Structures are given as structure tokens and as C-alpha cells.
């Protein structure tokens, strides 16, 4: 993505560095490219499905192994209102997405307060649209190496560039990694290189039960329904085997509960508190209490409790690990 590339520069780049490659570009104001896409047709086939000002959505097939991927290259606009159309379009793509999906590029938006150091704090307003999309689409940051932050103006640093993947990508275990390299002299953004390797089968990570799940109003019902289902499916074996199988059947429902209701719990709790304060201000100004106040209060309380339980559990785990290390 290069916002200042003229047609002559594009031709020069194609001739010198990408002679055997295919390319597409869209020019913006001043006859300069906003986004430029190159690919090697001997390695991949690429079909552009949707091209809007802030993103290019493609379907890519690897000619080596025949695997299909959806890849969206993003170059978000500078202002929050101007980015809203991009989030709406990505929402629509997500609703019908059934392929492994990678979204990468300059989103021009932090996702949480930890994505910025220096300057003004990241507000809930600034990250709300991005966070809503991430939660709705079930996107997660790809494992990354290199630079933690991706942009600086010399006074502050911020993570504006990301590589995110959907649940299907993670389930297919692509063993992929995003490497963020220093910008150099031609840009103020870190470059991002995503490497996709053949699936490997490392030892599975242990399943972690989070105490905050118990605050969800559907937690007891979810456990009971899946436990009952497990009883009807598992009829043979000793008691220990049956118990293990029942717990395994609960794993995915609980992980789904976590993704839908508790992922990015710090940001969720902050947004719940802000919404409560807005409702409280309206109630105390008008002098009347309505049902929305009770709902906002209950939601904020539950999220705050879940956030407390999450950090309490994590602190206890770190202390236990420290004690085990000292014991050795």
C-alpha cells in the first residue's frame, strides 16, 4: 500500500523489480495510487472480489498445495467517521465467510489502550468500531514477531498495522506468523510479512477454565445441557474415562462462550462502565429511572466482576508458577 506512488513510479517498479509479476492499482487524488497489489502468478492465482477505497478483498489459491484463502488488504482512512463504511463492508464479508481469512494492513486505528505509548490516551470511542468488528467476526491477531508498535511520528508510538485471522484459519492450524520489520527511510509504518507454512501438529495446549465464565447467565444451562448430552453419548468405559470425555465435550462450548462474551474483557468492561455512566447521567438529569438503567447497571457490574476474576486468576497462576520455579 503506497499512497504517494505516481503512474511513472508504478511502471518503473513493475519493470525493475516485479517484471514477471501481475499487478493491480487504483489511483486516488492527484493521480497517485492509494493501494497497489503485486502477486506472482506462477505461485498463486488471485481473484479480486471487492475493491473499495480502504481495502482490497481477494481470494487466493496456492498453486503448490491447492489451498484457498480469503485475504483482505486494508488501508483505513484517518478519521473515525470515514472508517465506518469500511467496518460495515467488512461486517458484510464476515457474515458469509467460510474460508480461512486473513486481514492485514494499516487499520489507522488502535484496538486497545495497550496499542499506544505517548500522546493522548486511546479512548473507547476511538477503538469501539474496530473492537465491535473483531468480536463479531471472531478475528484474532496472528502470532507476531518483530516490532510491537508499527508507527511513530517521533513523539508517540502506536500499533496501527495488524495481521488478523478468523476461527477457520486457526482451526486449520496454518502455522503462520506475521513479522513486523522496521520501516526504514521510505515509510513511517513497519512493514508486515506473513509467512504461511504447512500445518504442523505440536503438542496441544492445556485447556484453561476461567472463573469469570461462571458470571454468565447462561453458564449453568450450557454446562447442564452439554453434560446431559454427554450422558446420552458416552455409555461405556470406567468412571474416569467417562468424566474425561464429558469434559472434552464441554471444551468447545466454553471456548465459544469465552469468545462471544469475554474476549478482550478489559475493553468490554470499560465500555460497559462508560455506557452505564451515560445512562446514569440521563436518569439523573431527567429524574426518571427506566429499564435501560437497570440493564446497564447489571451489565456493567457483571463485566466488572468478570474482569476482576480474570486478573485475580492470572495473578494467582503467576504466583503459583513462581513458587514452582523457586522450588526447583
Summarize pLDDT for 266-321 with one digit per residue, the tens.
Answer: 999 999 999 999 999 988 888 887 888 899 999 999 999 999 999 999 888 888 88
pLDDT-wise least confident of 24-33, 50-59, 192-201:
24-33
Strand partners, 201: none
Which pTM does this prediction carry? 0.60
- Give residue limits of the domains in the chain: 19-195, 211-261, 265-327
Q: Which of 32-46, 65-79, 80-94, 238-252 has the weakest average pLDDT? A: 238-252
Query: Is the distance from CB of 246 to CB of 234 less than 8 angstroms?
Result: yes
Question: So what's the pLDDT on residue 246?
Answer: 77
Give yes or no for residue 245 having a pLDDT over 90. no
19-195: CATH, from 3.60.10.10, 3.30.300.30, 3.40.50.720, 3.40.50.300: 3.60.10.10
At residue 129 the predicted structure's pLDDT band, cuts being 50, 70 and 90, is: very high
Q: What are phi and psi of 164, to 5 degrees?
A: -125, 150
Give tens-digit pLDDT for 17-51: 677 888 887 665 555 556 788 899 999 999 999 99
∠ CA(315), CA(207), CA(178), 5° rounding?
A: 85
Looking at residue 243, its pLDDT comes to 79
Pairing verdict, β 101-106 and 68-75: parallel
Computed on alpha carbons and rounded to an integer, the radius of gyration of the chain in Å comes to: 24
Query: How many alpha carbons fall within 13 Å on the CB side of residue 220?
Result: 2
Please identify which residue in the block is written with the cell numbers 449453568. 220
Angstrom distance (rounded) from CA 146 to CA 180: 5
Among 1-10, 106-115, 202-211, 243-252, the range with the most confident prediction by mean pLDDT is: 106-115
| DSSP class per residue in 204-249 | PPPP---GGGGGSTTHHHHHHHHHHHHHHH--SS-HHHHHHHHHHH
Amino acid at each position: 500500500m503506497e499512497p504517494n506512488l505516481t503512474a511513472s513510479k508504478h511502471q518503473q517498479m513493475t519493470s525493475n523489480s516485479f517484471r514477471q509479476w501481475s499487478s493491480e492499482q487504483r489511483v486516488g487524488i492527484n493521480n497517485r495510487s492509494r493501494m497497489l497489489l503485486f502477486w506472482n502468478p506462477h505461485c498463486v492465482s488471485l481473484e479480486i472480489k471487492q475493491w473499495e477505497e480502504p481495502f482490497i478483498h481477494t481470494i487466493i489459491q496456492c498453486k503448490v498445495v491447492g489451498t484457498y484463502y480469503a485475504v483482505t488488504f486494508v488501508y483505513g482512512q484517518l478519521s473515525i467517521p470515514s472508517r465506518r463504511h469500511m467496518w460495515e463492508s467488512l461486517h458484510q464479508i464476515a457474515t458469509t465467510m467460510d474460508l480461512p481469512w486473513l486481514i492485514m494492513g494499516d487499520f489507522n486505528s488502535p484496538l486497545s489502550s495497550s496499542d499506544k505509548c505517548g500522546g493522548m490516551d486511546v479512548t473507547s470511542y476511538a477503538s469501539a468500531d474496530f473492537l465491535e468488528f473483531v468480536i463479531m467476526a471472531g478475528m484474532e491477531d496472528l502470532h507476531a514477531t518483530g516490532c510491537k508498535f508499527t508507527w511513530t511520528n517521533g513523539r508517540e508510538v502506536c500499533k496501527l498495522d495488524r495481521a488478523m485471522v478468523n476461527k477457520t484459519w486457526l482451526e486449520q492450524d496454518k502455522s503462520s506468523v506475521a513479522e513486523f520489520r522496521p520501516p526504514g527511510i521510505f515509510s513511517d509504518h513497519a512493514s508486515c510479512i506473513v509467512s504461511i507454512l504447512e500445518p504442523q501438529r505440536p503438542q496441544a495446549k492445556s485447556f484453561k477454565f476461567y472463573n469469570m465464565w461462571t458470571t454468565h447467565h447462561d453458564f449453568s444451562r450450557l454446562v447442564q445441557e452439554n453434560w446431559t448430552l454427554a450422558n446420552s453419548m458416552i455409555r461405556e468405559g470406567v468412571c474416569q474415562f467417562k468424566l474425561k470425555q464429558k469434559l472434552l465435550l464441554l471444551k468447545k462450548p466454553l471456548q465459544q462462550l469465552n469468545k462471544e462474551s469475554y474476549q478482550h474483557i478489559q475493553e468490554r468492561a470499560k465500555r460497559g462502565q462508560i455506557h452505564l455512566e451515560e445512562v446514569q447521567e440521563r436518569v439523573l438529569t431527567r429524574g426518571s429511572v427506566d429499564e435501560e438503567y437497570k440493564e446497564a447497571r447489571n451489565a456493567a457490574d457483571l463485566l466488572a466482576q468478570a474482569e476482576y476474576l480474570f486478573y485475580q486468576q492470572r495473578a494467582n497462576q503467576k504466583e503459583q508458577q513462581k513458587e514452582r520455579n523457586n522450588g526447583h
